[in-house]
A and B are shown apart, each in its own frame.
Chain A
C-alpha cells in the first residue's frame, strides 16, 4: 500500500496531466458529435455581445458594400412578395431576420454567430439563408444568440439538386476556398456542364425547395471513376455576410419525429 502511494505521489504531476488531457479530448469529441453547451461557445451572451460591438465598429468601414447588399435584398424581397401573391401553395416556412455578429471565413471549421436565439424561436437544425442563397444550418442555440455551421465548414453537408433535371447530390466543402464548394455523389452517366444551377432539393425539412446554392464552375471525370468531381461557385459571398434569414419550418419537428420513427 505504501509503495503504491509513493508511486502515485512520485507520478502525481503526470497523473494530473493525463486526467486534464482526457477531459480536453472528451470535450473535443462530445462537441463535434453534439454541441450541448451554448455557454462554452460564441452563443454565450457575454462573448457574443462583445463580438457584436467589434463587428459594429468594423461595419462602418464596409457601409458601401452593405448598402449594395441591402438594395439587392430589397429587390429580392419585392420579387418574393409578387410570387407569393400569385401562388399560395401552402408552404409551411417562415423567415426570421438576424444580424451576423461574428464569423470566420478562412479556417477549416468556420462558424458564424447570429443575434437571434431561443427567445426568438430559433432551434437547432434550422436552415439559414440570405438574399443570395444558402448560408448554413443552426448548430448551437443560446438564449439570445446562436452559432451557425455555414456551407464553408468541412463538417457541412447540404442536400441539393440540379435545377435542370432534379438530380440530387450532396454539397460539401474541402476547406480551401470560401467561394467554392464540392458536389459529391453525381454519377458519370449525368451530363454536367459549367453553368448548371444548383438549388436546394427540399428533400430535408431544413430548407424549402429551390433556394439557390451555386453554379457549376468545372466538372472532372477521371477515367474509370463512376462519380464526378464537381466544383461549385457558391452564390453566397461569405466574406461580406451581414444579414441572414433563419428558415423556420412549422412542420420540422413532426417531420423529424417521422423520420426518426423509420430508423
Chain B
C-alpha cells in the first residue's frame, strides 16, 4: 500500500515537472526541478544501493525530457548517496523517524535544513554539469540560487499542507 502511494506520487510529480515546470521560463534563470521532492521524501526503508539505482532511473527519465543525457542522472545519484548521511547528521533521535521522512517525524527545523541542503546540492550539480565550463559560473550560480528558492518553497509548502 505504502509503495503504490510512493509510485503514484512519482508519476504525478514527474508529470507536473515535465508538463508544467519545464515550460516555465521565468526571467531566464528560473528552472525549478520539483521532481526531487519524491526522492527527498521517500521513506528510508530500502537498502542504500537500491535508493541510488532509483535515483539513477528517475534522473535518466528527466534527462530524456530535457535533452541533457547524464546530467540529472549524476545529480540524483549524488543526492541519494548523501541522503542517509545527511539525515544521520541533522536528526538526533533516529527512533522517532520511524523510517518516514515527513514534517511530523522530522520537525520543522530539521526538515528545512534537510530540504535546503539537498535542493542546493542537486540544483548546483545540474546547472554546473549542464554548463560544463567555468565561463558561465556567474550565470550558473544565479540560476542555482533563484531556481533553488522556488523548489524549496514548493517542497516545504507541500509538506506543510500535507502533514501539519
Residues of A within 8 A of B (CB): 12-13, 16-17, 20-21, 23-32, 35, 37, 39-42, 44, 47, 50, 54, 58, 104-109, 111, 147, 154, 175-176
Known contacts A41-B69, A106-B29; A21 and B139 CB within 8 A of each other: no
Stretch at the interface among B2-10, B70-78, B95-103, B114-122: B70-78
A24 touches B136 (CB 8 A): no
Please tell me if the beta carbons of A40 and B65 are within 8 angstroms of each other in the complex. no
Q: A17, A28, A58, A106: which contacts B129 (Cβ < 8 A)?
A: A28
Question: Known contacts being A17-B77, A20-B77, A108-B136, is A28 close to B70, with CB within 8 Å?
Answer: yes
Find out whether the CB atom of A16 lies under 8 angstroms from the CB atom of B64.
no
8 Å CB contacts to A: which residues of B39-98?
Answer: 48-49, 52-53, 55-56, 59-60, 63-71, 73-74, 77-78, 81
Q: How distant is B150 from chain A, measured CB to nearest CB, in Å?
A: 15
Between A and B, 27 residue pairs with Cβ closer than 8 Å are A17-B81, A20-B53, A21-B74, A25-B70, A27-B70, A28-B70, A28-B129, A28-B132, A31-B70, A35-B69, A39-B64, A40-B60, A41-B64, A41-B69, A42-B65, A42-B67, A54-B19, A58-B23, A105-B25, A106-B25, A106-B29, A108-B130, A108-B131, A108-B136, A111-B67, A175-B139, A176-B139
Please give, as numbers and ranges, the residues of chain A lying within 8 Å of B28 by CB-CB distance: 106
How distant is A171 from chain B, measured CB to nearest CB, in Å?
17
The verdict on B31 contacting chain A, using a C-beta distance below 8 Å, is: yes
Query: What 10 A-B pairs have minimum CB-CB distances, sorted nearest first?
Result: A27-B70, A28-B70, A24-B74, A31-B69, A106-B28, A16-B49, A24-B73, A13-B48, A17-B81, A111-B67
Count B interface residues, CB 8 Å: 36
Nearest CB in chain A: distance from B28 CB, A: 4
> Closest residue to B30 on the A side, CB-wise?
A106
Determine the distance from Cα of A12 to Cα of B74 in the docked complex, in whole angstroms.
18
Give, as a whole number of angstroms, the nearest-CB distance from B59 to chain A.
7
Shortest distance between the CB of A238 and any CB in chain B (Å): 11
- How far, in whole Å, are A107 and B142 apart by their CA atoms in the complex? 12
Cα distance A105–B59 in the bound complex, in angstroms: 22
Residue of A nearest to B140 (CB): A108
Q: Are A32 and B25 in touch, CB under 8 angstroms?
A: no
On chain B, the residues within 8 Å of A154 by CB distance are 131, 133, 136
Indicate if the CB atoms of B67 and A24 lie closer than 8 Å: no
User: Chain B contacts of A29 at CB under 8 A?
Assistant: 70
Q: Which residues of B have CB within 8 Å of A12?
A: 49
Q: B29 to A13, Cβ gap below 8 A? A: no
What is the CB-to-nearest-CB distance from B53 to chain A, in angstroms, rounded to a whole number? 7
Q: Whose C-beta in chain B lies nearest to the C-beta of A35? A: B69
Contact of A21 among B23, B48, B78, B136 (CB under 8 A): B78
Given contacts A31-B69, A111-B67, whether A20 and B139 have CB atoms under 8 Å apart is no
Partner among B55, B56, B74, B132 whose Cβ is within 8 Å of the Cβ of A32? B132
